[in-house]
Amino acid sequence: MKATVVRDRLWDPTSRTWETAWLNLLGSVAFGVSAAAAYTVPSSGEVANAALVNIGTFLGAVCFFAGALLMTPDPSRSNEVSTQSA
């Protein structure tokens, strides 16, 4: 998978950059849900929904990790670049 296929347009839905952006967006939403579920009820001192806190945090972390993996350079391509510059 290439970072981008169409270089003369801004919209290239087949590129890695768009997939990374969507994964980061989903991860941000999951972390937001987790933060909202972590509300502590003042009368009892308990978290509103501990399971949702844990699931949201886990899914957010998985999405961010997958996005980070997509951003890593292709090892075969980095070898080509280093041999061309020498």
User: Which pair of tokens denotes residue 55?
Assistant: 């699931």
Out of 5-19, 44-58, 65-79, pick the least confident: 5-19
In this structure, are residues 16 and 22 in contact, taking their beta carbons and an 8 Å threshold?
no
Domain range summary for the chain, segments of one domain joined by +: 16-71
The residue assigned the tokens 């996005």 is: 67
Most confident region among 60-64, 67-71, 73-77 by mean pLDDT: 60-64
Q: What is the pLDDT of residue 18?
A: 82
Chain-centre distance of CA 18, in angstroms? 11
Q: With pLDDT > 70 as the criterion, what percentage of the chain qualifies?
A: 71
Mean of per-residue pLDDT scores for the chain? 82
In this structure, are residues 27 and 63 in contact, taking their beta carbons and an 8 Å threshold?
yes
